[in-house]
Copies of this chain bind each other. A is one copy, B any other.
Amino acid sequence: MKLLPHIRIWLSTDFAQDVIGTGRYRLLRTIGELGSLSAAAEQLGISYRKAWDDLKKAEKSIGCRLISKSRGGSGGGGKTELTADGIRLIGLYEQFAGKVERFAMETFNTLAKEIGGGQEHDRVP
């Protein structure tokens, strides 16, 4: 009965669930680092289509813009950067998720020591 905790953390609003989770957090963070949505999608190994959809859903859920986009530029490229709201959002998520995950690990280890001292029985066929 060797168990480990596995937690999925989301931020939601009153009127829409699933504003941001680990996937969208990573996406926003990578966009911020690379300055490009398509480059971020490539680095994360997801299609541009999906990345764009995720972004749109996140913005619709939270109700404000998370990135500011532009087109054209040297070689036709555009640039994309996080808005102030976007930066605040990933900062909040990062800190929150980190604290909760750390707490969960500690708590689980303590509890498992107290409760899970037993051995396995009745192995399933």
Partner of A8, one of B8, B103, B124: B8
- The answer to whether A95 has its CB under 8 Å from any CB of chain B is yes
Which residues of B are found within 8 Å of A115, using beta-carbon distances? 88, 91-92, 95
Total count of chain A residues near the partner, CB < 8 A: 48
Please state if A1 and B62 are interface contacts (CB–CB under 8 Å). Answer: yes
5 of the cross-chain contacts (CB-CB < 8 Å) are: A1-B64, A4-B14, A6-B12, A85-B121, A96-B108
A contact face: mostly helix, strand, loop, or mixed: mixed
Contact status B1-A124, CB under 8 Å: no
Interface status of A9 (Cβ within 8 A of chain B): yes
CA of A11 to CA of B6, assembled, Å: 6
| A63 x B99 contact (CB < 8 A) | no
Q: Say whether A54 faces chain B, with CB atoms less than 8 Å apart.
A: no
